[in-house]
Amino acid sequence: MTGGRRFLAKVYVSLKPTVNDPEGNTIAGALGALGFNVEGVRSGRFFQVTLDAADGPGAEKQVAEMCSRLLANPVIETYTFEVAEVQTNRLS
């Protein structure tokens, strides 16, 4: 069931606010040592997923399922994403 259109999804995964973030704390400390006025840093992950789908809502549904099944850990992480169609140069 290959869809006819191509989409690029940008997925942002971050730790829930109550979860401890040692990587972010380390980066905040390093930025402070470099002289920046940093109050805090939260670290996360960023994925650019290229996928095929029949239409925009279909692509969004697929991406939401990817997030909940593989890309994010729902116990400690939250995710947001945005999906945009990619123009391909295929002859139609």
Helix (H) or strand (E) segment spanning residue 81:
strand 77-85
76 part of the interface to a second copy, by CB under 8 A: no
64 part of the interface to a second copy, by CB under 8 A: no
Q: Which of 16, 15, 76, 13 is nearest to 49 (CA)?
A: 13
60 part of the interface to a second copy, by CB under 8 A: no
Residue 3 contacts residue 70 (beta carbons within 8 Å) = no
Closest to a second copy by CB, 65 or 85: 65
Q: Are strands 5-15 and 77-85 parallel, antiparallel or unpaired?
A: antiparallel
75 part of the interface to a second copy, by CB under 8 A: no
Residues at the contact surface with a second copy, assessed by CB under 8 A: 1-3, 6, 12-14, 24, 27-28, 30-31, 34, 36-53, 62, 65-66, 69-71
